Copies of this chain bind each other. A is one copy, B any other.
Amino acid sequence: MAPDALELVFPRRNEKCTIYFSDQLISRVPLELFSGVSSVAIVSDDIVSKLYSKQLEERLSETAKTHMIVIRHGERNKNLTTVSSVANQMSDHGLDRKSALIALGGGVVGDLAGFVASIFKRGIKYFQFPTTLLAQVDSSIGGKCAVDTKWGKNQLGSFYQPEGIFIDESVLTSLPKKELINGLGEIMKSSIIADPTMFGELESLPAKYFEMQDLRKFVRRTCEIKASIVEKDETEINLRKTLNYGHTLGHAIESASRYRLSHGKSVILGMICEAWIAYELGILEKNDFERQTDLLLKTKNHFRITPRISKKEVLAFALLDKKNTSGVIQMSLPEKIGKMHAGKNELFTSLVSKDLVARSLEKLN
């Protein structure tokens, strides 16, 4: 049975990418995608590879020589040194320009392995097999790949589309519950950006809705929203900026917490502050502001987020971003539930004063 699929087209470089949705995809990846491919490298981390690499390896061995390359888990390994090590191993295994790569793991593996695929022999075919909720609904889609440097996250990278993305619910069952909120943050964000119906469904869930079986039904819709946005603006000139909702302050909060707060929690807190800013600026009307805040707070309480972070530091991190010069901070803000504010120039960017940002951080109390 062919899995359910969604095809994306990227006109800029005339590239295509297909997202496959299916349970147990790990052991039934469509083999026709690898016709003419002599060797495949599966790049994964030391945690995920123990759980899933055998099934994927067995499946792919039906059509090509398959090689496992395992990196250490965690953001700190997302750097050029690991890139070099993965590429060396690919060469040792005899991979050439006609080989393919599959990134099997969360965001770190996806970002790093995608970047390796984009530069190995000047670029080979690759696929994303995300194994976290966050990677499934967010980082695996859109072709952004990169590594971190000592001067920041995702500073060296490329836009390089995978030929296929495999979304398999079955690999989420092993996910620790605390990982779910990372995906939940993006699911909520997507509903605010583009889907009032989904927002309503999230609102109507009981406060204890953080079970995988409850979130499952939002995965496909969230993927569709991201796909539709990145197709229209692959390199983030305008529309793709809306995906950063909650992230300007979210990233600053995450940094100020020294990464003790997860990405999902930080983004939820970021949206709480940014929604208030949108309301204060008269961009977002009161009723929609309150509905958003209620939904986001419900999550906040449930997860007992009690950030012990310095607001001064959050502000400093927000101002550190190269985009934000002269005490003005750029962000994408919602205009109502399901619609982001485009602004006169259609850039989906609002300029917010340092003072207003400082006041918004009071919402973190």
Known A13-B12, A91-B149, A151-B88; contact A158-B156, beta-carbon cutoff 8 A = no
0/1 interface trace, chain A 82-98, chain B, CB 8 Å (1 if under) = 01100110011010110
- Flag if B322 contacts A156 (CB, 8 Å): no
Q: Which residues of B contact A92 (CB under 8 A)?
A: 151
- Flag if B146 contacts A122 (CB, 8 Å): yes
A281 within 8 A of partner (CB): no
A123 within 8 A of partner (CB): yes
User: Copy number in this complex?
Assistant: 2
How many chain A residues touch B (CB < 8 A): the figure is 35
User: Which of B12, B88, B144 lies in contact with A122, CB distance below 8 A?
Assistant: B144
Q: Which residues of B contact A149 (CB under 8 A)?
A: 84, 87-88, 91
- Flag if B156 contacts A123 (CB, 8 Å): no
Closest to A118 in B: B158
Q: Which residues of B contact A119 (CB under 8 A)?
A: 115, 119, 156-158
Q: Which residues of B contact A115 (CB under 8 A)?
A: 119
Instruction: Kindly provide the distance from the CB of A41 to the nearest chain B CB, expressed in whole angstroms.
Output: 15
A152 within 8 A of partner (CB): yes
Q: Which residues of B contact A157 (CB under 8 A)?
A: 119, 122
Closest to A87 in B: B156
Q: Which residues of B contact A9 (CB under 8 A)?
A: none
Cα of A87 to Cα of B152 in the assembled complex, Å: 12
Q: Which residues of B contact A323 (CB under 8 A)?
A: 96
- Flag if A155 contacts B80 (CB, 8 Å): no
0/1 interface trace, chain A 151-179, chain B, CB 8 Å (1 if under) = 11011111100000000000000000000
Q: Which residues of B contact A120 (CB under 8 A)?
A: 155-156
Instruction: Kindly provide the distance from the CB of A350 to the nearest chain B CB, expressed in whole angstroms.
Output: 19
Cα of A146 to Cα of B122 in the assembled complex, Å: 7
Instruction: Kindly provide the distance from the CB of A90 to the nearest chain B CB, expressed in whole angstroms.
Output: 10
